[in-house]
Every structure is written in structure tokens, then in C-alpha cells.
Amino acid sequence: MAVPLFNITPDLTVSRLCLGTMTFGEQNSLPQSFLLLDKAFNSGINFFDSAEMYPVPQRAETQGRSEEYLGRWMRERKIPRDCVVLASKVSGPSGKMTWIRGGPMCLDAGNITEAIDNRYAPMFGETKYDPILQFHSIDIAEQLDALGRAVDAGKIRYVGLSNETPYGVMKFLHTAKCGPGFPKIVSLQNSYNLLCRNFDCGLAECCHHERVSLLAYSPLAMGILSGKYFSPDGGPADARLNLFEGRYSEGESRYNLSNTIVKNATKAYIDIAQKYGLHPVSLAIAFVLKHPLVASAVFGATKLWQLQQVLDACKMELNPEIIADIDKVETNLLTEIKRLLYKV
């Protein structure tokens, strides 16, 4: 069974699974990366995601390898350019990644243009906006103008946002409509999974009315929803949260397994999968793909069998009984969060 497709625009069709490459060049060697890309492409995946800051954890010594490996694969395998959709991302404000343009303090036209040849927003699972963390703002028109020039030059095809808020999405959309020749925003890449449904609180309404598709990253909550970290030995030593423990603060901050709420909710979802004879990966991926605004689930895999598990999940359809059980866990999760926040 080939991976199904989704039309983001009339002339842009992507597979409903998107292989993320952020492990290429760190956890995965070049030959290993080629094997994963071969299997994904031959299975019907035409959509691949990267970023100029990849791989992770971020290091000066490896920065850029993920994009490089992806490009080398296309060249060496002689993949026709019109058979693959590539999504990549410009690094925003970063005081830590000084090896990327000195640690960009803003996402201005110069940084955008240089990344192709700031505005602070809560990201990586954060739920609160902190005005103290607001970086120097760059006019959105300046950003869209730089992106529009890249589109006109044929360097990029469409423009999307990543880790954005409802305010940010609407500001970009409004500015794009008002500016001369500014490119339209066609996609939003934010985290969405059984443990993180922030998208449904405001962003979903924006995307529905403005016809912006969600590229849902971290559908397995960094592997937690696979259940592998709940084995007696704490999971494989080469699993990301074990391998990079203490070195991957951005990732570890999203889903903390020492948090009782996260742990109990995850176990409840694993129990649901077992109840219906499903693999936890299938439950998690199928849940994300069921969302009407999700164009593609952006997932990562370091091993061929992990990739196969996700491919198999495309065959799953969740019945109303399963969805009802999932909703009960979500209700209990929200109730527990409110209890802790408001001491009720």
C-alpha cells in the first residue's frame, strides 16, 4: 500500500508522511541516511523535511549535514527534482548557535536571504507567552519581501511558518494579502500529537478559515508514544532521550518523563493501543493523520524497522470507540493540569 497523498495547493501534492532528517549527520551516518531515504521514497513518501540548524543536538561541527545528506542522496540516486518536495527552515533568533551567522538576533531580510543562498514566539511545546523573552521584532513585510524575492528567483516554491502562534499566523496572512507580490502562507509546521494538542486551541480555527495546512511534527512525542521508554531498562541506550540526556535541552523540555501527568497519560494511550490490538506507534500516527487540517505527519526514524512501523500506521483507521477512549484520556489530562494550576 502506497502512502496516500494530500493536495496543499492545486499544484503541490505531498505524501501524508514526511520523513524528517534531523538525525542525519548525528545519529545516522551517510550510508544509513541513504538507506532510510531509499526505503521512504520507494514506499511512496515524496516529502522530506530539514532545517539549516540540523542535525540535533545542534553542534558547530555537524551543522548543515542533514541538508547536505539529503542533497547528496538526490544527486547520487538521480532522483528527478519534480518527484520530491523539500521543506527546510531558516534559523530564527539564537544566542546559542553562534556558528550560524554569529547567532542571529533577528529574522530579517539579510538572514533570510543568506540562509537561502524576529519575532519571539513560544515554541517546542511551550504553552505560555513570556513578554520578557520578546526578541527585537522585524517587520513581517520585510520577511515576506525577502521570501517573495526568493520565490521569484526560483529558489523556493512556497512559504510556510513553523512554531507559530495564532497571532503570528494571522499577522503573516494579513500582511501577505496587503503587500505587493508577497507570497501566500500555505502551511504551518507545529507540534501535534496525543500529548500536545495546542494546535486545536486557536491555531486550528485560523488555519481552517485561511486554508493553511498543518505539517504536524513530533507525532510520536519524540518517541515517547512508542512506549519504548517504559521498558524495565528505560529503553534502548541509543534512543534519543537516552543518548543525548542532558545535551538536548530543547527536546527534553517538551516531554519530561519525570512528569507524572505526562507519564500517566502516555501509559493510558499505550493501554488503549493494547486494548484494540494496535501498536502504540500506529495509534499515535493514525490519530494525527485523522485531523482534517493535517496535510502530513513529519516524523523521524533512525532505523529501517522504525520507518516501517510508521509506514504500517498509514493503513490504520481509528473507529469511534477508539476515539472515545482517547478523548477520555485527554479530558482526564486537562482536568489534572487544571487541578495543579488552580489547586482545585
Tens digits of per-residue pLDDT, 282-296? 999 999 999 999 999
> pLDDT of 63-76, one tens digit each?
999 999 999 999 99
Please give the single-letter amino acid code of residue 136. Answer: H
Give pTM, 2 decimals.
0.91
One-character DSSP codes across 132-177: GGPPPP--HHHHHHHHHHHHHTTS-S-EEEES--HHHHHHHHHHHH
- pLDDT value of residue 116: 84
Gap between the Cα atoms of 94 and 113, Å rounded: 17
Closest CA to 156 of 181, 183, 178: 183
Gap between the Cα atoms of 335 and 288, Å rounded: 22
Gap between the Cα atoms of 277 and 319, Å rounded: 13
Please give the single-letter amino acid code of residue 226. Answer: S
What's 311's DSSP letter?
Answer: H
Gap between the Cα atoms of 104 and 147, Å rounded: 17
- The H-or-E segment that residue 110 falls in is helix 109-116
Position 161 pLDDT exceeds 90: yes
Burial 283-297 (b: 16+ CB within 10 A, else e): bbbbbbbebebbbbb
Closest CA to 87 of 248, 274, 256, 215: 215
Catalytic residue check, 54? yes
Gap between the Cα atoms of 214 and 183, Å rounded: 18
When mean pLDDT is compared across 24-33, 112-121, 182-191, 223-232, the lowest value belongs to 112-121
Gap between the Cα atoms of 185 and 130, Å rounded: 25
Phi, psi dihedral angles at 299 (to 5 degrees): -125, 165
Gap between the Cα atoms of 232 and 222, Å rounded: 19
Q: Which residue has the cell 533512525?
A: 302
Position 124 pLDDT exceeds 60: no
Catalytic annotation, pick one of 54, 120, 192, 269: 54
Residues in the chain: 344
Gap between the Cα atoms of 288 and 95, Å rounded: 33
Closest CA to 52 of 111, 118, 122: 111
Position 256 pLDDT exceeds 90: no
Position 82 pLDDT exceeds 50: yes
Q: Which residue has the higher pLDDT, 48 or 344?
A: 48
- pLDDT value of residue 167: 95
Could you tell me the CA-to-CA distances from 150 to 113, 210, 330 in Å, in that order?
A: 8, 23, 42
Neighbours of 249 (CB within 10 A): 11
Gap between the Cα atoms of 333 and 335, Å rounded: 5
Partners of 214 in the β-ladder: 188, 294
Q: Which residue has the higher pLDDT, 246 or 122?
A: 246
Position 125 pLDDT exceeds 90: no
- pLDDT value of residue 118: 42
Share of the chain above pLDDT 90, in %: 69
Q: Which domains does the chain have, with CATH numbers?
A: 5-88+184-319 (3.20.20.100)
The stretch 153-159 carries a mean pLDDT of 96
The stretch 124-146 carries a mean pLDDT of 71
- pLDDT value of residue 150: 95
Q: Which residue has the higher pLDDT, 57 or 85?
A: 85
Please, which pLDDT band fits residue 132 given cuts at 50, 70 and 90? low
Position 138 pLDDT exceeds 80: no
Gap between the Cα atoms of 167 and 241, Å rounded: 32
- pLDDT value of residue 265: 93
Query: Is the N-terminal amide bond of 183 cis, ω within 30° of 0?
Result: no
Phi, psi dihedral angles at 185 (to 5 degrees): -85, 120
